[in-house]
Structure 1
Amino acid sequence: MLKQRIITAIWLIPLVLGAVFLLPTEYFAWALVPVFLIAAKEWGQIIDKRCQITQWSFTITIGALLIALNLFVPSDELWFKGHLHPIYLAIILIGALWWAISFLLVISFPKSSALWQKSHMFKSMFGQLTLIPCFAALISLKGLSSEADPYYGGILVFLVMLVVWSTDTGAYFAGKALGRTKLMPNVSPAKTIEGLVGGLITSMVIVMGVMLVSPEQELGLVIAVTLFIALVSAVGDLSESMFKRVADIKDSGTILPGHGGILDRIDSLTAALPVFTLIYIAFWM
């Protein structure tokens, strides 16, 4: 399994970074649509894994919303005088609120599942709240690129990805080596408190990198934001685990050998990206 994960990562990471840094924001936004459509199809199994009509209906809904966003808010209109377009800002704010609610659902699971596990409407709404704000945050950060600094937005997206990847990797290996105390056994039996701590410690490597490249940044703020985003990413991971557990699904898909589906790869990012975007607007704009 580990060997297959590494092989997939070897070709996947350059592909992702190439899109983040080399594609103009407009093309980047359209390139993301099929990726999110695959994720939407996978979420459709969470809604009802037996009904193809339900799965495709949800996928088409997500596709229509993403295409509408790309058409009605072109990439060159995302930012104006340091302010994010109100439609995108509203979507990201709603997304951040959703993750606060999702955190409550996770920590109160399985009792909380009584509210939504039999409702296609709720699970469809949760899927939209998970995917659409993530898409909006990705495009918003990427759109911060300018002629003077064409890679700035890409660097921000990359930093969030690095925090999430380092946290996931540190948690995986720390959990394997030291994991004893279950974090939330009802949600994800494999995750441990030792793994979470290992992931948070590993995320500090990103802080070191940021301070080396940009020493004018306030160290305390960078540490606080990194740790907070790392914790938020863990909520995204646990949230998807909760929904898959109720749906009796191990992996969201098989498109990425060793990793599962698209949702399995972006679950942490779906939470981290909207929250980071709001923090960036609040403290760095």
Structure 2
Amino acid sequence: MLKQRIITALCLIPLVLAGIFWVPAVYFAWCLVPIFAIAAKEWGSFIDKDCNVTQWSFTVTVAFLLIVINIMFPADELWFKGHLHPMFQAIISIGVLWWIVSSALVFSFPKSAKVWQNSQMLKSMFGQLTLIPCFVSLIALKSLSSSVEPYFGGVLVFLVMLVVWAADTGAYFAGKSLGKHKLMPSVSPAKTLEGLAGGLLTTMLIVVGVMYFSPEQELGLLVVVTLVTAIASAFGDLSESMFKRVADIKDSGKILPGHGGVLDRIDSLTAALPVFTFIYIAMWM
């Protein structure tokens, strides 16, 4: 399993880096559509794991919405005089509100599941609120690149990914070596408070790196934004775990050997990206 994970990661990382740094924002947005369509198909199994019609209906709905977004709001026309298109701002804001609600559902699980576990409509809505704001946030950050700073948007996307990877890695090793107190055993029995603390501590390495290359940044604000983004990523992971537990599914898919499905790889990012983008727009734009 570990060997498969490493091989898959080594294959994916160059593609991810090429996409966020060198693919123009407009093409990048279209490249994301099939990836998120696969994630939507996987979410469809949370809605009804035994009904392919339901799964494909949700997939087509999400893919259609993403295509409409790309057509109506081209990535190279999203920013004007430092302001993001109002529709994108609205979607990102709705995404942040969803993650506040989702966190409440996680905290109150399994009691909260009584409200939504038998409702395909609610689970479908939750899936759209998880995937679409993440998609929009990715495009919004990526499209910040310009002729003056062609890699700026890619750097922002990469920083969010680094925070998530650092948090996940730190949580894994701290949890393995020090974990004693369960974080949310009803949602994800393997996660511990010590793992969460270790993950948050590890993200400070990203802060050190940013301050080294960009010392003009305000340290306190950078630390807060990094920690909030990392905490959001943790709840993105827990949220998917909650939906998988109710659906009695171990992995969202099998498309990535050793990693499971696309959702299993982007679950933390689905929360981290809208939260980071919202804060970035509020603080720096």
Global fold match (TM > 0.5)? yes
Output the amino acid matched with 2:124: S
Q: 4+ residue stretches of structure 1 with deviation over 6 A?
A: none
Structure 1 unaligned segments of length 5 or more: list them.
none
SS in 2 for 1:215: coil
* Cα offset, 1:269, TM superposition: 0.2
User: Which residue does 1:210 correspond to in 2?
Assistant: 210
Q: After superposing the two structures, state which structure 1 stretch, 168-177 or 135-144, moved more.
A: 168-177
User: Which residue does 2:63 correspond to in 1?
Assistant: 63
User: Which residue does 2:32 correspond to in 1?
Assistant: 32
* Cα offset, 1:7, TM superposition: 1.6
Deviations 1:85-135 (A, max 9, x none): 111111101000000000000000000000000000000000000000000
* Cα offset, 1:175, TM superposition: 1.1
User: Which residue does 1:194 correspond to in 2?
Assistant: 194
Output the amino acid matched with 1:265: R
Deviations 1:35-86 (A, max 9, x none): 0000000000000000000000000000000000000011121001111111
User: Which residue does 1:247 correspond to in 2?
Assistant: 247
1:48 equivalent in alignment to 2:75: no
User: Which residue does 1:78 correspond to in 2?
Assistant: 78
* Cα offset, 1:3, TM superposition: 2.4
Output the amino acid matched with 1:43: W
How many equivalent residue pairs? 285
SS in 2 for 1:233: helix
Deviations 1:149-187 (A, max 9, x none): 110000000000000011001111111111111100000
User: Which residue does 1:182 correspond to in 2?
Assistant: 182
Alignment partners' CA distance in 1, 2:254 and 2:205? 31
1:100 equivalent in alignment to 2:110: no
Alignment partners' CA distance in 1, 2:166 and 2:177? 16
TM-score, normalised via structure 1 length: 0.99
Output the amino acid matched with 2:219: L
Alignment partners' CA distance in 2, 1:4 and 1:180? 29
SS in 2 for 1:111: coil
Deviations 1:183-214 (A, max 9, x none): 00000001111111110111111000000000
Structure 2 unaligned segments of length 5 or more: list them.
none
1:238 equivalent in alignment to 2:227: no
Output the amino acid matched with 2:233: S
Alignment partners' CA distance in 2, 1:159 and 1:103? 23
Output the amino acid matched with 2:214: S
Alignment partners' CA distance in 2, 1:143 and 1:251? 32
Output the amino acid matched with 1:234: A
SS in 1 for 2:249: coil
* Cα offset, 1:236, TM superposition: 0.3
* Cα offset, 1:265, TM superposition: 0.4
Alignment partners' CA distance in 2, 1:207 and 1:55? 40
Alignment partners' CA distance in 2, 1:143 and 1:235? 26
Alignment partners' CA distance in 1, 2:34 and 2:112? 32
Alignment partners' CA distance in 1, 2:173 and 2:42? 27
Identity percentage of aligned residues: 73
* Cα offset, 1:2, TM superposition: 2.3
User: Which residue does 1:131 correspond to in 2?
Assistant: 131
Alignment partners' CA distance in 2, 1:138 and 1:156? 9
SS in 2 for 1:208: helix
Output the amino acid matched with 1:252: S
User: Which residue does 2:269 correspond to in 1?
Assistant: 269
Alignment partners' CA distance in 1, 2:58 and 2:220? 42
User: Which residue does 1:154 correspond to in 2?
Assistant: 154
Q: After superposing the two structures, state which structure 1 stretch, 8-17 or 155-164, moved more.
A: 8-17
1:173 equivalent in alignment to 2:165: no
Alignment partners' CA distance in 1, 2:15 and 2:172? 23
* Cα offset, 1:282, TM superposition: 1.1
User: Which residue does 1:140 correspond to in 2?
Assistant: 140
